[in-house]
Structure 1
Amino acid sequence: MILALVTDGSPAKAAVTGLVSGSLTGAVRVPLVPLAGAVAVAVVVAALTSRVAALRA
Structure 2
Amino acid sequence: MPPRTPRRRGPLAATGSPVEAAVRGLVTGAQQDTVPLPLLPLAATALVTAGALALTGALASRRSP
1:21 partner letter: T
The one of the two structures with greater contact order (alpha-carbon pairs below 8 A, sep at least 6) is 1
Instruction: Name stretches of at least 5 consecutive residues in structure 2 with no aligned partner.
Output: 1-15
Say what the alpha-carbon RMSD is for the aligned residues.
2.5
Instruction: Give the 3 Å change call, closer, same or farther, for CA 14–46 of structure 1 in structure 2.
Output: farther
The structure richer in helix per residue is: 1
Checking the alignment, whether the CA contact within 8 Å between 1:22 and 1:28 is kept in structure 2 is: yes
State percent identity of aligned pairs: 38
Match of 1:37 among 24, 29, 44: 44
Number of residue pairs matched by the alignment: 48
Offset of 1:13 from its aligned partner?
4.7
- SS of the residue corresponding to residue 46 of structure 2 reads helix
**Once the 2 structures are TM-superposed, how far is the Cα of residue 14 of structure 1 from its aligned partner?**
8.3
In structure 1, the residue corresponding to 2:37 is in which secondary structure? coil
Instruction: Find the partner of 2:54 among 39, 47, 56.
Output: 47
Q: Please report the TM-score for the alignment, with normalisation by the length of structure 1.
A: 0.65
Contact kept? 1:18, 1:29, Cα under 8 Å: yes
1:25 deviation in Å? 1.9
TM-score, with length taken from structure 2? 0.58
